[in-house]
C-alpha cells in the first residue's frame, strides 16, 4: 500500500447532490454556492444536517425530533416530525426559503417532490466522506456569509486530521491488516462497506475492509467472515447499545467458529462510539481519526 500522503486542499466543483468517492487523502475541496440570497427560514430534516447548518453560522426554523437535542440549536426552532416521517404540513407552515434533506430516506424523497411542486427550494445533502462534508460546508457558509465558520469547522479540522496522519510511522505495521465493520442493533445487523464514511477513516491508517469485492458477506454469513478472518472487528451500535450488544452476541459471538477468528484471539473486537462513527462527526471529524489512531498505535 502506498504511504499516506499529506492532505491537500484542492478546489473542485461538485453538483449539489454529488457524492465523492472515498480516498486516503482528505481535502477541503468545495464548490462555490450559486448566487442566491441568504435564506431567512431554513428547515433541516436530520440531526447531522441541522448540525452542519448551525456550524455554518445559520439558524433553523424547523428540525426533526432527533435534532432537538443539539446544544447550539436556536430556542425558537420547532419540531416538524421525525427523521423518517417529517410532516409536509408542518414544514410548509414555516414558509421556508430552503429545506435541507437526504436522498437516503424515502420520506425525504417524497417530501422533496411535494415541496418543489409548491415552489419551495430544497437541497439534498449526502455526506460520505470528509471531502463531502467540506464541500457542503463551503456551500452553507457561502449562503450564511460566515466564512470564519468554514475556517473554524473545516480548515482547522483538516489541519488536525493532517497532524494525526502525519504521525503514522513510516514502517506502518497496520498496512495490509484487514477489518470487518458492522452496524449492530436490536433488530438488524449490517455489514458496512467502503462507501460508509467510517471505512474511509479506518482505511487511512493502512487497513483494508474485507467486504471489498466480497459479496458473500452481504448476507452476514459467519462462514464467509471466518474464511476472510479479519484482524479487527469494529462494531457501531445503533439505538440501545445494550440491546445491540445482545444482538451481536446472539448472531455472531455465540457461534463456535467465531472464537477462532484472529480478531477474537487478539482481543481486537472493538465497539466504536456512535457519536463519531454512527452519526456523521461534522466538526469532530478529527476526533474520529484520533480515536482510531489511539486504538491502533497507542494500545497499552
pLDDT, tens digit (0-9, with 9 covering 90-100), for 251-273: 888 888 999 999 999 999 999 99
The Cα 165–Cα 214 span in angstroms is 28
Same domain, 141 and 209: no
pLDDT for the residue numbered 213: 62
The model's pLDDT over 19-39, given as tens digits with 9 standing for 90+, comes to 333 333 444 443 344 445 789
Same domain, 73 and 98: yes
26: Cβ–Cβ under 8 A, 6 or more apart, which residues?
7, 129, 130, 131, 158, 161, 162, 165, 204
Asked if the structure places residue 33 within a domain, the reply is no
Asked if the structure places residue 19 within a domain, the reply is no
| Domain boundary, last residue among 101, 133, 163 | 163
- Phi first, then psi, for residue 24 (nearest 5°) are -70, -45
Asked if the structure places residue 21 within a domain, the reply is no
| Domain boundary, last residue among 129, 163, 197 | 163
Same domain, 147 and 241: no
Same domain, 210 and 275: yes
Instruction: Give yes or no for residue 123 having a pLDDT over 90.
Output: yes
Same domain, 192 and 227: yes
What single-letter DSSP state applies at residue 123?
A: E
Helix 130-144 and helix 156-166: axis angle, to 10°?
A: 160
Same domain, 234 and 269: yes
pLDDT for the residue numbered 223: 87
pLDDT for the residue numbered 31: 38
| Domain boundary, last residue among 115, 136, 163 | 163
* Total domains present in the chain: 2
Q: Which residue has the higher pLDDT, 219 or 196?
A: 196
Asked if the structure places residue 6 within a domain, the reply is no
Same domain, 143 and 211: no
Confidence of residue 215 (pLDDT cuts 50, 70, 90): low
Asked if the structure places residue 108 within a domain, the reply is yes
Using the structure block, give the residue that is written with the C-alpha cell 441568504: 38
Using the structure block, give the residue that is written with the C-alpha cell 491488516: 177
Same domain, 210 and 159: no
The model's pLDDT over 96-115, given as tens digits with 9 standing for 90+, comes to 999 999 998 999 999 999 99
Q: Domain limits at 117?
A: 42-163
CA distances from 26 to 29, 32, 149, 160 (A): 9, 19, 19, 11
Same domain, 146 and 248: no
The CATH number given to whatever domain includes residue 53 is 3.40.50.1980
- Average pLDDT rounded to a whole number, residues 295-300: 74
Is residue 168 a contact partner of residue 205, using CB atoms and an 8 Å limit? yes
Confidence of residue 299 (pLDDT cuts 50, 70, 90): low
- Average pLDDT rounded to a whole number, residues 218-237: 88
The model's pLDDT over 145-167, given as tens digits with 9 standing for 90+, comes to 999 999 999 999 999 999 999 99
Q: What's the gap between Cα 251 and its chain centre?
A: 25
- Average pLDDT rounded to a whole number, residues 63-86: 95
pTM of the model: 0.82
Asked if the structure places residue 4 within a domain, the reply is no
Same domain, 133 and 194: no
* Secondary structure, 3-state, 230-286: CCEEEEEECCCHHHHHHHHHHHHHCCHHHHHCHHHHCCCEEECCHHHHCCCCHHHHH
The Cα 186–Cα 71 span in angstroms is 28
Same domain, 129 and 194: no
Asked if the structure places residue 202 within a domain, the reply is yes
What single-letter DSSP state applies at residue 151?
A: I
Question: Could you tell me whether strands 208-209 and 190-191 are parallel, antiparallel, or unpaired per DSSP bridges?
Answer: unpaired
Same domain, 72 and 145: yes
CA distances from 209 to 29, 99, 112 (A): 25, 35, 34
The Cα 96–Cα 188 span in angstroms is 36
pLDDT for the residue numbered 38: 84
Instruction: Give yes or no for residue 222 having a pLDDT over 90.
Output: no
What single-letter DSSP state applies at residue 216?
A: G
Q: Supply the mean pLDDT for the chain.
A: 86
The Cα 228–Cα 183 span in angstroms is 18
Is residue 62 a contact partner of residue 93, using CB atoms and an 8 Å limit? no
Asked if the structure places residue 186 within a domain, the reply is yes
pLDDT for the residue numbered 47: 94
Is residue 102 a contact partner of residue 113, using CB atoms and an 8 Å limit? no
Q: Which stretch of 38-52, 157-171, 207-221 has the lowest confidence by average pLDDT? A: 207-221
Identify which of 115, 108, 112, 150 has the alpha carbon closest to the alpha carbon of residue 133.
150
Confidence of residue 17 (pLDDT cuts 50, 70, 90): very low
Is residue 101 a contact partner of residue 47, using CB atoms and an 8 Å limit? no
Amino acid at each position: 500500500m502506498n504511504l499516506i500522503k499529506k492532505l491537500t486542499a484542492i478546489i473542485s466543483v461538485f453538483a449539489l447532490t454529488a457524492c465523492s468517492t472515498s480516498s486516503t487523502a482528505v481535502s477541503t475541496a468545495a464548490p462555490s454556492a450559486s448566487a442566491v440570497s441568504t435564506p431567512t427560514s431554513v428547515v433541516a430534516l436530520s440531526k447531522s444536517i441541522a448540525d452542519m447548518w448551525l456550524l455554518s453560522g445559520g439558524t433553523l426554523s424547523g428540525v426533526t425530533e432527533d435534532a432537538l437535542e443539539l446544544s447550539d440549536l436556536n430556542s425558537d426552532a420547532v419540531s416538524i416530525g421525525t427523521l423518517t416521517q417529517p410532516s409536509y404540513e408542518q414544514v410548509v407552515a414555516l414558509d421556508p426559503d430552503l429545506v435541507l434533506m437526504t436522498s437516503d430516506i424515502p420520506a425525504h424523497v417524497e417530501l422533496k417532490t411535494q415541496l418543489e411542486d409548491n415552489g419551495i427550494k430544497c437541497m439534498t445533502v449526502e455526506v460520505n466522506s470528509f471531502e463531502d462534508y467540506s464541500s457542503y460546508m463551503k456551500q452553507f457558509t457561502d449562503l450564511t456569509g460566515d466564512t470564519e465558520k468554514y475556517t473554524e469547522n473545516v480548515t482547522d479540522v483538516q489541519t488536525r486530521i493532517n497532524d494525526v496522519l502525519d504521525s503514522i510511522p513510516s514502517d506502518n505495521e497496520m498496512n495490509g491488516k484487514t477489518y470487518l465493520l458492522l452496524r449492530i442493533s436490536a433488530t438488524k445487523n449490517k455489514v458496512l462497506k467502503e462507501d460508509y464514511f467510517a471505512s474511509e477513516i479506518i482505511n487511512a491508517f493502512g487497513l483494508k475492509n474485507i467486504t471489498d469485492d466480497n459479496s458473500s458477506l452481504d448476507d452476514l454469513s459467519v462462514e464467509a467472515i471466518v474464511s476472510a478472518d479479519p484482524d479487527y472487528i469494529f462494531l457501531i451500535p445503533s439505538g440501545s447499545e445494550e440491546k445491540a450488544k445482545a444482538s451481536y452476541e446472539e448472531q455472531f459471538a455465540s457461534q463456535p467458529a467465531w472464537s477462532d477468528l484472529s480478531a477474537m484471539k487478539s482481543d481486537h473486537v472493538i465497539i466504536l462510539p456512535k457519536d463519531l462513527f454512527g452519526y456523521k462527526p461534522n466538526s469532530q471529524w478529527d476526533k474520529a481519526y484520533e480515536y482510531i489512531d489511539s486504538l491502533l498505535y497507542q494500545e497499552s
